[in-house]
């Protein structure tokens, strides 16, 4: 792709790139570049700035970081108090670690359920594969919030599951599932399972079948062949799917807030409460910046594999 | 892969799919329940759907959400297509790395961080420039930002595989570059444009977290109203509303999917005829 575009831009003066010419093409580049700069990137700069401010009783509720005095000198008042506060008040460290733990185990659950699903899909006939793809993708299009709500209808104290189990006589007291850690795991797996299945299916479907035949010819049992051939070759899908579940799960707000109990303090919930409950914007900005720095690792892994996948 | 049926695998697949769909099916079924108690079946009724029509709060929120989604997805389609063209057709320009980063980052950024940072920007902008006051404008701007990322990625991959020689042939026949792009390449990437517009529309319609941060006091979108009701527990009118949204979106996506597949087949057929 890059080579072909380069040839026509540099040499033949053909195509959009060549003829719109060096300055004309800024008409194409600048609108999205400027928009995203102003409304996506610069906000992070603002958050960084405000994280050094102090909470104040005014509108907006924080002190000025930079001010210009009467003699036209710029004064910077940087306060590290918010970051110090993050380190001293243990709720932040606890909720961050708790988010990582929750995201990790729900990713693992998604992998354990999603891998056999993707494997079965890849083994189906071509026509069935198309239908199965649609069936897996469709929930992704329907509202995330409403799907979490729909799940609540199943696991509530008077929900379908409890009604059914009581009616069958399996239990005599309704199971307490709502507002527990289990409900949070269930919610994340339910919401993000398609994100795990699709990349896994994409790698398993492309897998060279002759390799498995070769393994079997050389005396490998099917299970052994799976561990030696299929699993290692599907690792890109495993990593891509895991990142697609892990990264959003870590910052999840709706699921712990609706399905979780008071102990399920994930970082997204803490941030939300800091903002809407305590109205402490500078601390919220500092939490957001610290959270972003801690997410940089998983995001870098994700981007690395995404770029590798895009290359043929 | 070997086409050997394994009953265990098929069972897991079926259970997984049932797990994905059962809650939604139950939700739709219960929306026709005459009884307001979720655990009791009181007979078939469409009364909750009727009540929706009289709920002013829900109607105005739905109106706002649809308006925001239409504006945001159209804005994102324009900006995202431009960004995709820039990234695919111009291999070198100042700011390319920046643009690449900015169209990929929103895809992995937790919404809660995007929401907070955008709110802080809007507040500071309002203070300095007197614009934009928090409400529909800020929600649309915030939605355009994250939807642009999805549009760019979708259109980019389609555009990268589009055959440039057709466009060059058009220009050899006297078309201007813009004409060649609009007449030749645009129809080829049209399915990607439609699906990315639809994706943006549904993402915008569904967004709760970012909207909650950037909206103003009197502008509640539909997910915000639903969320505030759902937090208090299950309510029959939300069941009806949720069923309506799930069925509508499902029908639209299936129809679009069918149309896209047909468009794809027609193109393949045309290519085969042209080659033969």
Asked whether residue A124 falls in the same domain as residue A91, the answer is yes
pLDDT class for B256, splitting at 50, 70, 90?
Answer: confident
Question: Measured between beta carbons, which residues in chain A are less than 8 angstroms from residue B30?
Answer: 153
The minimum CA-CA distance between B145 and chain A, rounded to whole Å, is: 6
Q: A183 and A60, same structural domain? A: no
Cβ-contact B103, A35 below 8 angstroms: no
| Contact assessment for residue B204 and residue B72, using Cβ atoms and an 8 Å cutoff | yes
Helix axes A90-123, A181-206, angle to 10 degrees: 40
pLDDT computed for residue A11 by the predictor: 43
Together in a domain, A155 and A237: yes
The whole-angstrom separation of Cα A59 and Cα A101 is 37
Quote ipTM for the complex.
Answer: 0.91
Taking only residues 129 to 148 of chain A, the set having a beta carbon closer than 8 angstroms to any beta carbon of chain B reads 132, 134-136, 138-139, 141-147
A307 touches chain B (CB under 8 A): no
Instruction: Report whether pLDDT(A94) > 70.
Output: yes
Mean pLDDT (whole number) for A123-149: 89
- The reply to whether A117 and A258 lie within a common domain is yes
Q: How far apart are CA B159 and CA B162, in angstroms?
A: 5
Verify that A60 and A23 share a domain, yes or no. Answer: yes
* Contact residues on chain A for B116, CB-CB shorter than 8 A: 47, 271, 275, 284-285, 288
Check CB contact of B106 with chain A, cutoff 8 Å: yes
By C-alpha distance, the chain B residue nearest A243 is B108
pLDDT at A212 over 60: yes
pLDDT of residue A259 exceeding 80: yes
Q: How many domains does chain A have?
A: 2
pLDDT of B162 reads 84
Task: Note whether A232 and A277 are same-domain residues.
Answer: yes
* DSSP per position, chain A: -HHHHHHIIIII--HHHHHHHHHHTHHHHHHHHHHHIIIIIHHHHHHHHHHTS-B-SSSSSB--SEEE-TTS-EEE----HHHHHHHHSHHHHHHHHHHHHHHHHHHHHHHHHHHHHHHHHHHS-HHHHHHHHHHHHHHHHS-HHHHHHHHHHHHSTTSHHHHHHHHHTS-SS----TTSHHHHHHHHHHHHHHHHHHHHHHHHHHS-HHHHHHHHHTT--HHHHIIIIIHHHTHHHHHHHHHHHHHHHHT--HHHHHH--TT---HHHHHHIIIIIS--HHHHHHHHHHHHHHHHHHHHHHHHHHHHHH--
Confidence band of A312 (pLDDT split at 50, 70, 90): very low
Give the pLDDT confidence of B173-222 residue by residue, as tens digits.
988 888 888 988 998 899 899 999 999 999 999 999 999 999 988 899 99
B1 interface with A at CB cutoff 8 Å: yes
Q: What is the pLDDT of residue B204?
A: 96
Cβ contact B77:B90 at 8 Å: no
* A145·B206 Cβ contact <8 A: yes
Q: Is A300 on the interface with B (CB under 8 A)?
A: no
Say if A285 is an interface residue toward chain B (CB within 8 Å): yes
Residue A66 belongs to what domain range?
2-76
Share of chain A above pLDDT 70, in %: 90
The interface residues of chain A toward chain B in range 113-132, judged by CB-CB distance below 8 A, are 113-114, 116-117, 119-123, 125, 132
| Closest residue of chain B to A121, computed from CA coordinates | B13
Of A39, A268, A306, nearest to B110 by CB-CB distance is A268
Choose the closest CB to A39 out of B82, B112, B145.
B145
Contact between B117 and A271 using a beta-carbon 8 Å cutoff: no
State whether A42 and A171 are in the same domain.
no
The answer for residues whose C-beta is within 8 angstroms of residue A41's C-beta and 6 or more apart is B98, B102
pLDDT at A309: 58
pLDDT mean over B230-240? 84
Which CATH number fits the domain that encloses residue A108?
1.10.3720.10
> Which residue, of A26, A61, A76, is where some domain finishes?
A76
Q: Which positions 153-212 of A are in contact with B (Cβ < 8 Å)? A: 153-154, 156, 158-160, 163, 190, 193-194, 197, 204-205, 207, 209, 212
Same domain, A48 and A7: yes
> For residue range A19-46, what is the model confidence (pLDDT) as tens digits?
555 567 888 999 999 999 999 999 999 8
- A108 & A173 share domain: yes
Q: Provide the residue count of chain B.
A: 276
Asked if A123 and A63 sit in the same domain, the reply is no
3-state secondary structure A13-71: CCHHHHHHHHHHCHHHHHHHHHHHHHHHHHHHHHHHHHHCCCECCCCCCECCCEEECCC
Dump pLDDT digits (tens) for B110-120. 899 999 999 99
Show which of A13, A42, A76 is a domain's final residue.
A76
- Nearest chain B residue to A275 by CA: give it: B116
Interface mutation target, options B28, B110, B140, B244, chain A, most CBs of A under 10 Å: B110
pTM: 0.89
Q: Which residues of B touch A122 (CB under 8 A)?
A: 1
Contact A139 B24 (CB under 8 A): yes
Domains defined for chain B, CATH in brackets: 56-275 (1.10.3720.10)
A41-45, A139-143, A282-286, range with the lowest pLDDT: A139-143
Same-domain status, A127 and A192 = yes
Residues A36 and A142 in one domain: no
The residue with greater pLDDT, B71 or B235, is: B71
Query: What pLDDT is stored for residue B5 in this prediction?
Result: 66
Return the residue of A nearest to B76 by Cα.
Answer: A32
Q: Which of A46, A76, A106 is the last residue of a domain?
A: A76
């Amino acid at each position: 792709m890059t080579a072909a575009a380069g040839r026509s831009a540099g040499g033949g003066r053909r195509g959009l790139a060549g003829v719109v010419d060096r300055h004309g093409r800024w008409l194409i580049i600048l609108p999205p570049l400027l928009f995203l700069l102003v409304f996506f990137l610069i906000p992070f700069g603002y958050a960084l700035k405000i994280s050094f401010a102090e909470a104040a009783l005014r509108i907006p509720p924080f002190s000025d970081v930079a001010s210009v005095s009467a003699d036209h000198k710029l004064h910077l008042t940087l306060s590290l108090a918010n970051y110090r506060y993050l380190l001293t008040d243990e709720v932040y460290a606890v909720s961050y670690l708790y988010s990582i733990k929750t995201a990790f185990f729900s990713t693992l659950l998604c992998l354990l359920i999603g891998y056999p699903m993707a494997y079965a899909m890849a083994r189906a006939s071509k026509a069935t594969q198309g239908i199965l793809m649609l069936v897996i993708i469709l929930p992704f299009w329907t509202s995330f919030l409403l799907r979490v709500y729909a799940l609540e209808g199943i696991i509530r104290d008077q929900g379908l599951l409890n009604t059914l189990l009581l009616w069958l006589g399996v239990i005599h007291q309704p199971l307490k599932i709502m507002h527990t850690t289990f409900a949070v795991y269930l919610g994340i797996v339910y919401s993000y399972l398609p994100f795990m299945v699709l990349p896994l299916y994409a790698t398993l479907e492309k897998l060279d079948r002759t390799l498995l035949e070769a393994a079997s010819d050389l005396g490998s049992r099917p299970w052994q062949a799976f561990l030696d051939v299929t699993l290692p070759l599907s690792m890109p899908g495993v990593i891509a799917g895991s990142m697609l579940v892990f990264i959003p799960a870590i910052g999840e707000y709706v699921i712990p807030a609706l399905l979780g109990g008071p102990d399920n303090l994930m970082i997204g919930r803490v941030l939300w409460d800091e903002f809407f409950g305590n109205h402490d914007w500078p601390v919220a900005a500092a939490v957001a910046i610290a959270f972003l720095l801690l997410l940089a690792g998983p995001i870098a892994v994700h981007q690395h594999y995404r770029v590798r996948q895009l290359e043929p | 892969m070997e086409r050997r049926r394994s009953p265990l695998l098929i069972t897991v697949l079926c259970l997984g799919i049932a797990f994905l769909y059962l809650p939604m099916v139950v939700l739709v079924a219960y929306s026709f329940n005459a009884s307001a108690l979720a655990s009791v079946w009181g007979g078939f009724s469409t009364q909750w759907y009727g009540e929706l029509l009289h709920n002013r709060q829900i109607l105005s929120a739905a109106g706002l959400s649809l308006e925001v989604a239409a504006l945001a997805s159209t804005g994102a389609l324009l900006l995202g297509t431009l960004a995709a063209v820039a990234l695919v057709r111009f291999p070198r320009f100042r700011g390319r790395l920046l643009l690449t980063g900015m169209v990929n980052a929103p895809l992995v950024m937790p919404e809660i961080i995007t929401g907070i940072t955008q709110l802080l920007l809007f507040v500071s902008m309002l203070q300095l420039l007197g614009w934009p006051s928090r409400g529909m404008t800020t929600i649309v701007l915030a939605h355009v930002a994250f939807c642009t990322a999805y549009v760019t990625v979708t259109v980019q991959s389609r555009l990268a595989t589009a055959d440039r020689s057709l466009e060059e042939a058009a220009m050899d026949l006297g078309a201007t570059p813009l004409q060649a792009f609009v007449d030749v390449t645009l129809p080829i990437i049209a399915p990607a444009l439609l699906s990315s517009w639809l994706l943006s529309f549904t993402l915008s319609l569904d967004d709760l977290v970012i909207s909650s941060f950037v909206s103003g006091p009197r502008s509640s979108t539909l997910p915000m109203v639903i969320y505030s009701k759902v937090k208090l527990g299950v309510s029959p009118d939300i069941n009806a509303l949720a069923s309506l949204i799930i069925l509508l979106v499902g029908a639209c996506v299936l129809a679009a999917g069918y149309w896209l597949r047909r468009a794809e087949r027609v193109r393949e057929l045309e290519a085969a005829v042209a080659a033969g």
